[in-house]
């Protein structure tokens, strides 16, 4: 399948006029969220996929802002026509997290109450707060269900939090190179990075926006962090012990090795695009992340009410978020009989592999999403009427709900028939009074575990535009329509 680009894209902004309550007990007023979208929503908006970024990411996940841009969005390799997150099928959304510095409200933003930049007066935010802000954005976009939420590293934490915070809203969770809670080692690396920033003389307790920012401290923090994103093997392959533009040691403290030069380059480049205070706040949010709430719950208990399907991906050479942490997630999900697929991706690139190994990422994610089932896209809000209802009641319900199909159920909730808009039109002409006289009793149905492809073929074979989804006892649990699957079967 030929893969393409989403082309030229534009960052948009959502201004929420209200208070966002935070876990720390404080509130953020009138937040702004920067976001980008790729592809189009289907009629029911059931094909939305939320992409969550990692520590240094932003809303620009795919495409280019101008034709002259040298580098596309940070996950361009897997977002676009024919790619894992196929924009011909899915409506893909990515937003910058609150606390960030790439358009969403963060410590470098203007505090509406003071007219000055927040700096350290910005309240501490958590991964859960980030997810709650994303929920506000989705409400603004008119999306009440997510087909999938996906991300790697801190993005994977957000994906997991989505499943826990909003269990009835997410169909599929794709969590890559992540964990259920930050480990002591991860917290330690983050603290060293924060100390590098806070001991820079230019940091000035976070109040540096009118002067020189703490470039040296932020550069060192990035250098430390970047080491954890690589693996010993990848560093051997990329640098070895090769010297930078020389053949002999100088026997001084200048930058001599290629690996040193590379880290300096990464640090200097990062300083030009990121805010030091945002680095402090986001790493602290990662440190606080713990689905078990400090051990108050077991990980198995955390997932008891989750209704999503899961794809958990670890990376064999990742020592920052090693595979055992993904395996803990899989064990807890399996203990709750939750549908979970686990893949340990073989790569020598370390933690960064989820960004670098686009070939493997496309294969793994595309293969998983191609196995999507009816339960992933069915509409749960199905209008129903009890058997014996009047034609007038059916017409009124159909108008109120804006639906063309109403399921008729017995006293015990079992489906006994379906009434369509066509049936009602015919009933009015023929002067019927009860839906029992006009409903279709032989109803073609689907099971929530049926493949979308098979459901589409069944609807085409019987020339129907909607099909009830029933459980083993013939109780209606959803409805699947031709509109909801039209783009999914391309």
Q: Residue 69 belongs to a domain with what CATH number?
A: 3.40.50.1820
pLDDT for position 371: 84
CA-based R_g, the chain, Å: 26
Q: Which residue has the tokens 């940070």?
A: 74
My answer on whether 114 and 164 are in the same domain is yes
pLDDT for position 378: 85
My answer on whether 328 and 395 are in the same domain is no
Supply the pTM of this predicted model.
0.90
Sheet bearing 405-409, strands edge to edge: 384-386, 405-409, 415-420
Domain boundary, last residue among 355, 376, 397: 376
Nearest C-alpha neighbor of 17 from the set 36, 31, 5: 31
According to DSSP H, which parts of 299-390 are helical?
Answer: 299-302, 323-335, 353-356, 358-369, 374-377
Nearest C-alpha neighbor of 165 from the set 303, 52, 281: 303
Per the residue annotation, which of 95, 104, 109, 153 is the catalytic one?
153
Domain boundary, last residue among 376, 401, 436: 376
153 assigned to active site: yes
My answer on whether 407 and 370 are in the same domain is no
| Non-local CB neighbours of 128 within 8 Å, separated by 6+ positions | 23, 161, 165
Q: Which residues make beta-bridge pairs with 252? A: none
Nearest C-alpha neighbor of 350 from the set 232, 188, 240: 232
- Expressed as residue numbers, the domain containing 456 is 377-485
My answer on whether 355 and 454 are in the same domain is no
- Position 19 in a domain: yes
d(CA 435, CA 130): 48
My answer on whether 381 and 371 are in the same domain is no
* Residue 221 CB neighbours (<10 A): 29
Per the residue annotation, which of 351, 376, 405, 423 is the catalytic one?
351
My answer on whether 321 and 451 are in the same domain is no
d(CA 234, CA 349): 5
Domain boundary, last residue among 322, 349, 376: 376
- Position 4 in a domain: no
- Position 490 in a domain: no
* Residue 207 CB neighbours (<10 A): 14
351 assigned to active site: yes
**CB of 480 within 8 A of CB of 377?**
yes
Torsion, Cα of 189, 191, 192, 197 (10° steps): 130
- Position 7 in a domain: no
- Position 101 in a domain: yes
My answer on whether 318 and 399 are in the same domain is no
| Non-local CB neighbours of 230 within 8 Å, separated by 6+ positions | 349, 350, 351, 352
Q: Phi/psi of residue 211, each to 5°?
A: -140, -150
Q: Which residue has the tokens 């064990």?
A: 331
Region of 311 (left: φ > 0; alpha: ψ -120 to 50; beta: rest) is beta
pLDDT for position 487: 67
My answer on whether 319 and 397 are in the same domain is no
- Position 306 in a domain: yes
**CB of 386 within 8 A of CB of 393?**
no
**CB of 483 within 8 A of CB of 43?**
yes
412 assigned to active site: no
pLDDT for position 1: 47
My answer on whether 223 and 335 are in the same domain is yes
My answer on whether 449 and 363 are in the same domain is no
Any idea how long the chain is?
Answer: 490
Helix (H, G, I), strand (E, B) or coil at 473: coil
Q: Phi/psi of residue 149, each to 5°?
A: -130, 135
Q: Would you call 41 exposed, middle or buried from its count of C-beta atoms within 10 A (0-12, 13-18, 19+)?
A: middle
Task: Spell out the per-residue pLDDT of the chain, length 490, in tens.
Answer: 468 999 999 999 999 999 999 999 999 999 999 999 999 999 889 899 999 999 999 999 999 999 999 899 999 999 999 999 999 999 999 999 999 999 999 999 999 999 999 999 999 999 999 999 999 999 999 999 999 999 999 999 999 999 999 999 999 999 999 999 999 999 999 999 999 999 999 999 999 999 999 999 999 999 999 999 999 999 999 999 999 988 889 898 988 899 999 999 999 999 999 999 999 999 999 999 999 999 899 999 999 999 999 999 999 999 999 999 999 999 999 999 999 999 999 999 999 999 999 999 999 999 999 888 888 888 887 889 999 999 999 999 989 988 888 899 998 889 999 998 888 888 888 889 999 999 888 889 999 889 888 898 999 999 888 889 999 888 988 888 887 787 676 5
- Position 227 in a domain: yes
CATH number at residue 420: 3.10.580.10
Angle in degrees, 0-180, between the axes of helices 276-288 and 154-165, rounded to the nearest 10: 50
Q: Would you call 435 exposed, middle or buried from its count of C-beta atoms within 10 A (0-12, 13-18, 19+)?
A: buried
pLDDT for position 2: 62
- Position 46 in a domain: yes
My answer on whether 45 and 87 are in the same domain is yes
Per the residue annotation, which of 76, 290, 318, 423 is the catalytic one?
318
- Total number of domains in the chain: 2
Nearest C-alpha neighbor of 467 from the set 424, 421, 405, 414: 405
pLDDT for position 488: 72
**CB of 489 within 8 A of CB of 86?**
no
My answer on whether 404 and 358 are in the same domain is no
* Residue 63 CB neighbours (<10 A): 20
**CB of 444 within 8 A of CB of 450?**
no
* Residue 430 CB neighbours (<10 A): 9
Start-to-end CA span in the chain (Å): 11
């Amino acid at each position: 399948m030929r893969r393409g680009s989403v082309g030229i894209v534009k960052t948009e902004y959502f201004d929420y006029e209200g208070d966002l309550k935070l876990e720390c007990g404080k509130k953020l007023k009138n937040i702004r969220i920067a976001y980008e979208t790729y592809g189009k929503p289907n009629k029911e908006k059931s094909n939305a996929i939320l992409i969550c970024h990692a520590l240094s990411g932003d809303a620009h996940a795919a495409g280019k802002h101008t034709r002259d841009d040298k580098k596309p969005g940070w996950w361009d390799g897997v977002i676009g026509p024919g790619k894992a997150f196929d924009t011909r099928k899915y409506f893909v959304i990515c937003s910058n997290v609150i606390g960030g510095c790439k358009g969403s409200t963060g410590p470098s933003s203007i505090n509406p109450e003071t007219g000055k930049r927040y700096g350290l007066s910005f309240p501490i935010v958590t991964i859960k707060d980030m997810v709650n802000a994303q929920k506000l954005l989705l409400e603004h976009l008119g999306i009440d269900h997510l087909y999938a939420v996906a991300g790697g590293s801190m993005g994977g934490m957000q994906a997991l939090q989505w499943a826990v915070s909003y269990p009835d809203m997410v169909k599929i969770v794709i969590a890559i190179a992540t964990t259920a809670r930050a480990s002591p080692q991860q917290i330690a690396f983050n603290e060293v990075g924060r100390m590098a920033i806070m001991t820079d003389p230019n940091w000035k307790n976070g109040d540096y926006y009118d002067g020189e920012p703490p470039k040296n401290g932020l550069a060192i923090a990035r250098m430390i962090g970047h080491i954890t994103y690589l693996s010993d093997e990848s560093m051997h392959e990329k640098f070895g012990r090769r010297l930078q533009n020389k053949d002999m040691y100088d026997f001084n403290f200048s930058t001599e090795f290629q690996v040193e030069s590379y880290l300096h380059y990464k640090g200097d480049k990062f300083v030009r695009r990121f805010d030091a205070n945002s680095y402090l706040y986001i790493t602290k949010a990662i440190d606080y992340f713990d689905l078990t709430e400090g051990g108050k719950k077991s990980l198995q208990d955390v997932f008891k009410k989750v209704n999503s399907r899961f794809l958990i991906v670890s990376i064999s050479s990742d020592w920052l978020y090693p595979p055992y942490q993904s395996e803990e997630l899989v064990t807890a999900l399996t203990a709750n009989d939750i549908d979970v697929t686990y893949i340990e991706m073989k790569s020598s690139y370390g933690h960064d592999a989820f960004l670098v190994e686009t070939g493997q990422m496309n294969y793994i994610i595309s293969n998983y999403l191609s196995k999507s089932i009816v339960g992933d896209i069915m509409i749960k809000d199905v209008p129903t009427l009890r058997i014996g209802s009047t034609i007038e009641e059916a017409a009124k319900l159909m108008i109120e709900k804006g639906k063309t199909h109403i399921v008729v159920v017995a006293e015990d909730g079992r489906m006994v028939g379906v009434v369509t808009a066509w049936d009602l039109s015919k009933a009015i002409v023929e002067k019927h009074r009860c839906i029992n006289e006009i409903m279709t009793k032989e109803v073609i149905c689907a099971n929530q575990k049926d493949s979308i492809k098979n459901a589409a073929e069944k609807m085409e074979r019987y020339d129907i535009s909607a099909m009830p989804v029933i459980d083993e006892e013939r109780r209606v649990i959803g409805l699947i329509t031709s509109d909801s699957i039209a783009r999914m079967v391309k």
